[in-house]
Amino acid sequence: MSLFVLLSPDTDFALRMGTAVEGHLPGSISTFATDELPGQPEDLFAALGGALPDVLVLGPGVALEGALRFATVMDISFPSVTILLAAEADAELTLQAMRAGVRDVVSPGIDPEQLRVVLQRGAQASESRGRSTAAAEPASTAPRGRIIGVFSPKGGVGKTTLATNIAVGLGKAAPLRVVVVDLDLQFGDVASGLDLEPEHTLTDAVTPAAARDSLVLKAFLTLHAGGFYALCAPRTPAEADSVSPEQVAHLIGQLAEQFDYVVLDTAPGLGECTLAGLEACTDAVWVTGMDVPGVRGLRSSLEVLAHLGLMPESRHLVLNMADPNVGLSVKDIEVTLGLPVDVSVPRSRAVAYSTNRGIPVLQAPRRGDKATAALGHVVERLSPSDKSRAARRSHRRVVVS
């Protein structure tokens, strides 16, 4: 059971917070209808009968300067408490808040459903940090979230289409807990595939300030309407040249601590940054088309990675833009690669149209479209359900139709 505490004289916000929690989230609310902050965190705990909040919301009407100062003290002394700030924020205020230890800045007019998602996420973060603090041994540095890489040695096989649809599908299952990262640093298309015009890119996300503070890093992510975040490729190839594999590896680790799923859309081939991403992956989605050069290239890549010991434990082989009339069969591909094909995605006008519009087909799925259904099967293999865990262990023979 979580304890949610609100400090705010705004009765309307208090009512919306009550609607967000009561009957939906396991826990209770304590509201202090005041614009005056306690002198010290211990004063707040005393008013709560000695209880430690899981989530503390500094609501509308509280002076921002005082709120940030109080958040800083609270974050240093009681890091297990998740602090949220309700304020009309610009980029500068957001950065100040995150540096002060505020986990999220929400609009004072946020609706109860959106607020419920933020509060639930805050309670989960508090629980996670509380377990780490109570542990007798130092906290583990292993990432909490799953890292899913989409790979192919060849371009033009639909990696970005697959990665963006995976992000959309997982975003429905885990709202605001998914981030897709464009690791095709020179010519990435995630922004185009999601119809985004990001204010910040991966170049910003590897700056020293972001590398030191994951909350600063989060300010550089772009929120997609599908309920997930995107970190898009640098604007120019020149900017991409300044990003090192070490920075990429550190970035992925930071994101895995903040999100349940980190989806990596990689560049063709086995460049250094792609290898850095692959080394961190818990799941690898290998993509190939039904052409001899592409299949042979994937086989060579898999042999190299096996030799280097860079094969994630969980793997998924996707046959994309499948066509039964090109002279290759699924069996031919499986024999060449020495792996079973897990999902076959047929050619589809709906997918091509959605890609050109920048709206992934799983965001607005068309009933009856086989490619859309196949992309859904890929997401099922990666989702947290019991059914998907069984699917990851099994490899059914697929048929191209």
All structural domains of the chain with their residue ranges: 2-134, 146-393
pLDDT attached to residue 387: 47
Q: What is the pLDDT of residue 246?
A: 94
Q: What percent of the chain has pLDDT over 90?
A: 53
Cα–Cα distance, 101 to 124 (Å, whole number): 16
Q: Which helix (H) or strand (E) holds 30?
A: strand 27-32
Cβ atoms of residues 274 and 266 within 8 Å: yes
Q: Does the domain made of 146-393 have the CATH classification 3.30.310.50?
A: no
Each residue of 85-128: pLDDT tens digit?
A: 999 978 888 888 888 889 889 999 999 999 999 999 888 888 77
At 262 the three-state DSSP class reads: strand
pLDDT tens digits, residue range 213-264? 877 888 899 999 888 999 999 989 888 888 999 999 999 999 999 899 999 9
Mean pLDDT along residues 333-359: 90
Angle, in degrees to the nearest 10, between helices 386-393 and 370-382: 100
- Gap between the Cα atoms of 176 and 260, Å rounded: 9
Beta strands in 87-204 (DSSP E): 102-106, 146-151, 178-183
Does the pLDDT value for residue 297 go beyond 80? yes
- pLDDT tens for each residue of 379-398: 999 986 544 455 554 555 55
Task: Check residue 139 and give its pLDDT.
Answer: 42
Quick one: average pLDDT of 330-342? 89
- Report how far Cα 214 is from the mean position of its chain's Cα atoms: 13
Residue 148 has pLDDT above 70, yes or no: yes
Give the per-residue pLDDT at 40.
84
170 neighbors 264 (Cβ within 8 angstroms): no
Q: Is the pLDDT of residue 400 over 80?
A: no
Are the C-beta atoms of 351 and 371 separated by less than 8 Å? yes
- The 3-state secondary structure of 79-121 reads CCCEEEEECCCCHHHHHHHHHCCEEEEECCCCCHHHHHHHHHH
Mean pLDDT of 343-370: 89
133: pLDDT strictly greater than 60:
no
Judge contact between 285 and 148, C-beta under 8 A.
Answer: yes
In the structure, what pLDDT confidence band is assigned to residue 29 with cuts at 50, 70 and 90?
A: very high
HSE (side-chain half, CA atoms, 13 Å) at 45: 12
Question: Does 2-134 match 146-393 in CATH topology?
Answer: yes
pLDDT for the residue 21: 92
- In CATH, what number does 2-134 get? 3.40.50.2300
Residue with structure tokens 């023979």? 397
- H helical segments located in 281-322: 292-308
With beta carbons less than 8 A apart as the criterion, state whether 6 and 30 touch.
Answer: yes
Q: Tell me, what's the pLDDT at 126?
A: 82
For the cut 80, the answer to whether the pLDDT of residue 376 exceeds it is: yes
Rounded average pLDDT over 163-190: 93
Higher-pLDDT residue of 397, 361: 361
Report the pLDDT value the prediction gives residue 385, as an integer from 0 to 100.
Answer: 58
Q: Which of 6-15, 52-61, 130-139 has the lowest mean pLDDT?
A: 130-139
Mean pLDDT of the chain: 87
What is the predicted pLDDT for the residue at 136? 36
Task: Give the helix/strand (H/E) hosting 223.
Answer: strand 222-223
Question: Is pLDDT of 138 > 50?
Answer: no
